[in-house]
Amino acid sequence: MESLDRELEQGELELPADPVHLNMGPSHPAMHGTVRIVLELSGEIVTKADVQIGYLHRGFEKMCERGTWAQVFPYVDRLNYVSPMLNNVGYALAVEKLCGLVVPERCQWYRMALGELARIADHLTCTGAMAMELGATTPYLWFIKAREMIWDILEEETGARLTHSFGRIGGMASPPSPDFAALCGAALPRILETVEEGEKLLLRNRIFLDRLQGVGVISGADAVSLGWTGPCLRATGVAYDIRKAHPYLKYDEVDFDVPVGHAGDTLDRFLVRLGEIRQSKRIIEQSLLRMPTEGPVNCDDPRMVLPEKGEVYTTIEATIRHFKLIMEGSKVPMGEVYSYTEAGNGELGFYLVSDGTGTPYRVRVRPPCFQVVGGLSRLIEGRLLSDIVPTFGSLNMIGGECDH
């Protein structure tokens, strides 16, 4: 072995002129998800970034083609696993659109309330994790504390904290629990309080602001041309929200605002999400007020909706109905449909094709963050290496829905 203290002639030492290649991810503590970015660095400046996704690809769309239509729900839970309820509702609405079903009013309000709870959880996770990736662990814990309150409510309603599989074609798995409104009423103010506390730790912090402001800037026109939707698009000033532009469920009957940014930078994306948390709270409160306490949650269509369990055990008619739906699945009319809802990250679209059988012929997902991640390289090229972490964090890539 060469001795380490070998005398070097300083004049001979040359710094490499070639750019340095750096591999960031796929498994990296500061990466917001399982993704790999191959970077070309000149000093600390990113000259080229090659974003490589697909590490969470499970063949979800193909898997949907072997079960029944109802058996897709557990798969959509695992798309954006931070807000599975929104995916459940989005898929249910798509199948119902194909079947021409409209769920009872009580269910529509219930779906909205649950969906907005999930949206708050989604935004809390994204903003909290982004702060944590910048070293601010305390606000993250604050936000996660608030998320726990939501998860407690969802656990009370669905029995599961994360992957609920709670949606059904033509309704929901069960009606709202008697305490649902009371639970939400108690939790929402506390959640907002916690969020505000967490915010105070961040938005008065010069270092935090400096790392966000003017970083990862994109113009509204560019964002639209990339197909961006959701909070990332709204941060550029484009007030496009599917809940307003193409209302579904009862969104046209509730009063809420669409928070927008103006600079399209990382800070705006951060603030838009925090603004949406407050709007979601408003929607939930209005939904709970207007949701009937009595009445059916599910459609009464024996071809689509399972019968009451008590009747299944005691009458042959309900047993037959149960068996037909479980053995063969709901027969969705032949045809195709594209249905889209506003999920945590933007437009979550389902393109479904049915050949008239109980099994989907094709389930195609338009995951919102696929398009958003498509714009990542242009946000970080020319910026410092350290800017990748907040920029990428603010895009909220969720591998489960992006990789398909």
Partner 1 sequence: MPTFKLDGRSIPFEAGDTIIKAAWRHGIEIPHYCWHPGLSAPANCRMCLVEILPNPGQRPITLDVLAWNDASHEYTTTQKPKLQPACRTAVTEGLDVLSDSSEHVRKARRDVQEFLLLNHPVDCPICDQSGECKLQDYWLEHGQFKKRMRDEPVHKPKAVEFGETIVYDGERCVMCTRCVRFMAEVAKDPVLDMRERGNLNEIVVAPGRRLDGHYTFMTEHVCPVGALTTKDFRFKARVWFLRSASVVCQGCATGCNAYLDYDPRHNKAYRHRPRDNARVNDFWMCDEGMLTYKEAHEGRVLGARLRGVEIPVAQALDQVRALFGGVSSSAVAIVLSAEHSLEDNWALHELGTKLLGTEGVFFAARPEGYEDDILIHRDKNSNTRGVRSVAPEAKPVGELVGHVESGRVTHVISLGSTALVVRDILARATWLSLAAHEGVLPELATVVIPVTSWAEHSGTYVNSRGLRQVSDKALEPQGESKAAWKVIGSVAAALGHDASWRSLRAVRSELLGIDEGGATRPPSSSAIDEGGATRPPSSSPEGVPL
- Binding region for partner 1 (CB under 8 A): 302-303, 311, 313-324, 327-328
Q: Which is nearer to partner 1, 176 or 307 (CB)?
A: 307
- Which residue's CB is nearer to partner 1, number 99 or number 389? 99
In the complex, what is the shortest distance from the CB of residue 103 to partner 1, in angstroms, rounded to a whole number?
A: 19
Q: What are the tokens at 369?
A: 């963050």
Q: b/e map of 234-255 (b: 16 or more CB within 10 Å)?
A: bbbebebbbbeeeebbbbeebe
36 DSSP β-pair partners: 52
Using the minimum distance from each CB to partner 1, give the nearer residue, 141 or 320.
320
Closest to partner 1 by CB, 8 vs 327, is 327
3-class DSSP assignment, residue 254: coil
Q: Which is nearer to partner 1, 163 or 319 (CB)?
A: 319
**Nearest CA to 330 among 351, 299, 308?**
299
- Longest Cα–Cα distance of the chain, Å, equals 94
Nearer to partner 1, 273 or 331 (CB): 331
Cβ of residue 296: shortest distance to partner 1, in angstroms? 14
R_g over Cα of the chain: 24
Query: Rounded to an integer, what distance in angstroms lies between the CA atom of residue 297 and that of residue 174?
Result: 8
| Nearest distance in Å: CB 310, partner 1 | 12
Minimum CB separation of residue 327 from partner 1 in Å reads 4
Which is nearer to partner 1, 44 or 317 (by Cβ)?
A: 317
- Alpha helices (runs of H) in 161-265, residue ranges in sequence order: 180-203, 206-212, 220-225, 230-234, 242-245
Other CB atoms within a 10 A radius of the CB of residue 16 amount to: 6
CA 140 to chain centre: 18
**Cβ of residue 362: shortest distance to partner 1, in angstroms?**
22
Q: Which is nearer to partner 1, 32 or 322 (CB)?
A: 322
Angstrom distances, CA of residue 84 to CA of 92, 160, 321, 332, 400: 12, 11, 28, 23, 11
Closer Cβ to partner 1, 68 or 287, answer by number: 68
The length of the chain, given as a count of residues: 404
* Minimal distance, residue 313 CB to partner 1, in Å: 7
In the complex, what is the shortest distance from the CB of residue 324 to partner 1, in angstroms, rounded to a whole number? 5
Beta-carbon contacts of 320 under 8 Å, excluding residues fewer than 6 positions away, are none
Rounded CA gap, 21 and 46, in Å? 10
Written as six digits, the tokens of 366 are: 């338009």
CB of 332 to partner 1, least distance (A): 14
Beta carbon of residue 220, minimum distance to partner 1 (angstroms, whole number): 52
In contact, 174 and 296? CB cutoff 8 Å = no
Specify whether the CB–CB gap between 194 and 143 falls below 8 A.
Answer: yes
CB of 317 to partner 1, least distance (A): 5
Cα distances (angstroms) measured from residue 375 to each of 23, 213, 347, 357, 403: 19, 18, 16, 39, 15
Q: Which is nearer to partner 1, 304 or 379 (CB)?
A: 304
| CA gap 314, 301 in Å, rounded | 20
